[in-house]
Amino acid sequence: TPITPWWKDAVVYQIYPASFKDSNGDGLGDIPGIISKIDYLKDLGIDIVWISPMFDSPQVDMGYDISDYEAVYPPYGTVEDMETLIRACHERDMKVILDLVINHTSDQHRWFQESRSSRDNPKRDWYIWKPPRYAEDGTRMPPTNWRSYFSGGTWEWDEPTGEYYLHLFAKEQPDLNWENEDTRNAIYDSAMRFWLDKGVDGFRVDTVNMYSKGVEFLDAPIIDPEFYEQPAWLYYANGPRMHEFLREMNDKVLKHYDAVTVGELPHTPDPKKVLDYVGASDKQLSMVFQFDIVDIGQGVARKYQFQPWKLPLFKGIVAKWQQFIEGTDGWTTAFCENHDQGRSISRFASDAPEYRVLSAKMLAIMMTALTGTLFIYQGQEIGMINVPRTWPISEFRDIESVNFYHSIAAQTNNDAATLDYVMRSLQILGRDNARLPMQWDASAHAGFTDREAGAWMRVHDRYGEINVARQVGDPESTWSFWREMIRLRREHGEVLVHGAFEGFEMENEETFVFAKRGGGKTVVVMLNFTGEEQRVEMPYEGLELRVGNYGDVEGAEKSAVGRARVLRPWEGRLYMMM
Ligand code: ISL
């Protein structure tokens, strides 16, 4: 193995197929649409394209409910289209990774259809079936009190066979039984080898720490009897056979293809535990998405009960996951957006018209200066923002958000103030914020679709101002800024991608100052997270200002007095010493 595997320095771009580009006028994105934009991604400086699920699916959870791993959802295209896409990327020296959703399948998958057909079907044990419990008065009760991610319990009663099956997500997403070796082998064949043999370069592995459920199915402690959150994940995440399963997956499949993996690792705040997954010598996962950064602002009792937060929390999390690999053979990721999260500008900076572009560029400086493999989510490169505050719940499409809203409505008897707060929270944290159609130009429906009736989901009200066509040719645009920062990151990979991180004034609530060192180079990044001027200290001497989001690199240093610097609203600067 080379000292630096190919995927460490790579910049990855995530595509959400439904919302990227519609080529055939049905209002839904598709694979030919993606193919038509590969040169656009190449031009931006992308090395790896990650495609969220495009497999056949009834789309209860936007394709994270797969009914056939070896087929493509027909409105998106065909397996041949995927082969064309893989070839088109490889011809341009780009790689392709797919989503690997193997904690559960759709209830329409033929494995589950067989499994539920009778108790003695050979595939019965491929899913997690349990007999009921009975209360003292004889009422039938599910095997545990666990609550699912999408509201309601995790157990669905199956009347014909008289047992419950487990579903951590929707009831249409039954959990596979990883204890069964035949199940594991079928997953390796159908979900993995099938696509690796077609040239796919790796996987983003969905909910990678939930396959081993443990032997005992215990009730979760109830924190708040009236409402929602409960740590049932204590019993189903990071279970006893997790590492054994991942080693097996490597031995049997991944190592034969030099495939890269990035696992999604919710509920795992402990760096030691994360290292167990990403230590290179142990051959489990190449890297993971740890959740601290994207969990910021989520409610304690319920996810969509937004909790205001202060900058030191954010900085501490960045520092923690920058530093956790030091002195180890592990690796980390740099990301702050994906299809499950609000847009970073709206969440972490300001989407007010006067500050949106500054915020976008300020965050671009931060992200491209962080150690780890960099992930960009579609639209982040043009500074897309959250849904407008005025949109009602009827514009939302995500099963989690919609179910959440309706369950709170039912529990509170439609209490207006509570539902207002839910809407406010969804407009910050909701998954739909990231799922709006990509804004390609200022024409009808943002150039995403030709369909007269528009896209499957409403386009953002501000697409005339925020779109690709307006930005690509403009050297001052957010898009051009990202491209320049990606270029800089590549040129100085030893410090920007691989360097050691040091944070300063970590309790300061207005600014974020950090340094990176590596390959004999030092970088200092200064970021103002407020709409007012802020004073900061330059921690080292002899550095030169290289990038600023105000575009006046020559003039900006004139006001410097000794080590003191004054940052303008949402200003970001990157200094370097070589
Ligand atoms: O959603 C969460 C909490 O409310 C997360 O902890 C969740 O476990 C994680 O985001 C899993 O997400 C992935 O799997 C889901 C799918 O809906 C998401 O889109 C996907 O990213 C089920 O497959």
DSSP letter string, 289-344: EESHHHHTT--SSSTTS-----HHHHHHHHHHHHHTTTTSS---EE----TTS--H
The CA 87 to ligand 1 mean position distance, Å, reads 30
Question: What number does the ligand 1 atom closest to the CA of 303 have?
Answer: 4
At residue 210, φ and ψ (nearest 5 deg) are -115, 10
Q: How far is CA 28 from CA 20, 33, 240, 431, in A?
A: 8, 10, 41, 18
The set of residues, in sequence order, having a beta carbon less than 8 Å from that of 270 and lying 6+ positions away, is none
Question: ∠ at Cα 288 (285, 294), nearest 5°?
Answer: 165
- The answer to whether 359 and 380 have CB atoms below 8 angstroms apart is no
d(C-alpha 549, C-alpha 569), whole Å: 11
CB atoms within 10 A of CB 427: 21
Distance CA 51, CA 342 (A): 19
Q: Which of 55, 169, 337 to mutate to test the pocket of ligand 1 (most atoms within 8 A of CB)?
A: 169
- In the prediction, which pLDDT does 1 show? 39
Handedness of CA 374, 379, 383, 384 (dihedral sign): negative
Q: 207: CA distance to ligand 1 center in Å? A: 7
**Residue with CA closest to ligand 1 atom 15:** 64
Beta strands in 47-125 (DSSP E): 48-51, 55-56, 68-72, 95-100
For ligand 1, atom 10, name the residue with the nearest CA: 340
Q: How far is the CA of 456 from the centre of ligand 1 (A)?
A: 21
Burial 42-54 (b: 16+ CB within 10 A, else e): bebbbbbbbbbbb
Active site residue 264: yes
Give the binding-site residues of ligand 1, using a 6 Å CB cut-off. 61, 64, 101, 149, 169, 206-207, 264, 266, 303, 339-340
206, 276, 398, 432: the catalytic one is: 206
CA 150 / ligand 1 centre spacing (Å): 9
- Max Cα-Cα span within the chain: 79
Testing ligand 1's pocket by substitution, the residue of 207, 267, 305 carrying the most ligand atoms inside 8 A of its CB is 207
* CA-nearest residue, atom 5 of ligand 1: 266
Classify strands 260-265 and 202-205 as parallel, antiparallel or unpaired: parallel
For residue 547 the two structure tokens come to 């990038």
240 exposure class (CB count in 10 Å sphere: 0-12, 13-18, 19+): exposed
pLDDT for res 226: 60
The span from the CA of 231 to the CA of 221, in Å, is 7
Residues of the chain with pLDDT under 70: 1-3, 225-229
Ligand 1 atom 3, closest CA:
149
CA dist 118 and 10 (Å) reads 48
Ligand 1 nearest atom to the CA of residue 431, by list position = 19
CATH 3.40.50.150 fits 499-577, yes or no: no
**The predicted structure's pLDDT at residue 117:** 98
Task: Answer for the pair 423, 7: CB distance below 8 angstroms, yes or no.
Answer: no
Q: What is the ipTM of this complex?
A: 0.96
- Dist. CA 218–CA 28, nearest whole Å: 42
Pick the CATH number of 11-104+181-387+464-478 from 3.30.70.1280, 3.40.1190.20, 3.20.20.80, 3.50.50.60: 3.20.20.80
Q: Is 288 in contact with 319 (CB distance < 8 Å)?
A: no
Residue 516, H or E segment: strand 511-518
Residue 97 main-chain phi, psi, to 5 deg: -120, 150
Domain ranges of the chain: 11-104+181-387+464-478, 499-577
**Radius of gyration, CA atoms only, the chain:** 24
Per-residue tokens: 85 = 């896409």
- C-alpha span between 55 and 448 (Å, rounded): 21
Nearest C-alpha neighbor of 101 from the set 180, 204, 179: 204
**Residue reference for tokens 């040239």:** 199
For ligand 1, atom 1, name the residue with the nearest CA: 149
Please choose from 64, 100, 150 the residue to mutate so as to test ligand 1's pocket, defined by most ligand atoms within 8 A of CB: 64
- Which atom of ligand 1 is nearest the CA belonging to 338? 21
The number of helices, as runs of H, and strands, as runs of E, in the chain is: 19, 22
Q: How far apart are CA 528 and CA 514, in angstroms?
A: 12
Q: Are 178 and 241 in contact (CB under 8 A)?
A: yes
Angstrom CA distances, 294 to 17, 193, 347, 348, stand at: 22, 31, 10, 10
Q: Which of 65, 264, 337, 340 is catalytic?
A: 264
Asked whether the CA dihedral 280, 201, 67, 76 is positive or negative, the reply is positive
Ligand 1: centre distance to CA 427 (Å) = 18
CA 231-319-354 angle, 5° bins: 95
For residue 521, count CB atoms less than 10 angstroms from its CB and return exposed for 0-12, middle for 13-18, buried for 19 or more: middle
Q: What is the pLDDT of residue 2?
A: 44
C-alpha 482/C-alpha 484 separation (Å) is 5
Alpha carbon distance 298, 429 (integer Å): 7
Nearest CA to ligand 1 atom 2: 149
Ligand 1 atom at minimum distance from 210 CA: 8
Structure tokens at 385: 């923002």
Atom of ligand 1 nearest to the CA of 101: 23
Contact 569/533 with Cβ under 8 angstroms? yes
The atom number, within ligand 1, closest to the CA of 150 reads: 4
For residue 175, what is the DSSP state?
B
For a pocket test of ligand 1, which of 106, 206, 377 has the largest count of ligand atoms closer than 8 A to its C-beta?
Answer: 206
Report strand pairing: 95-100 vs 48-51.
parallel
In the residue annotation, 83 being an active-site residue is answered as no
Tokens linked to 401: 């958000």
Residue pointed to by tokens 């702050």: 336
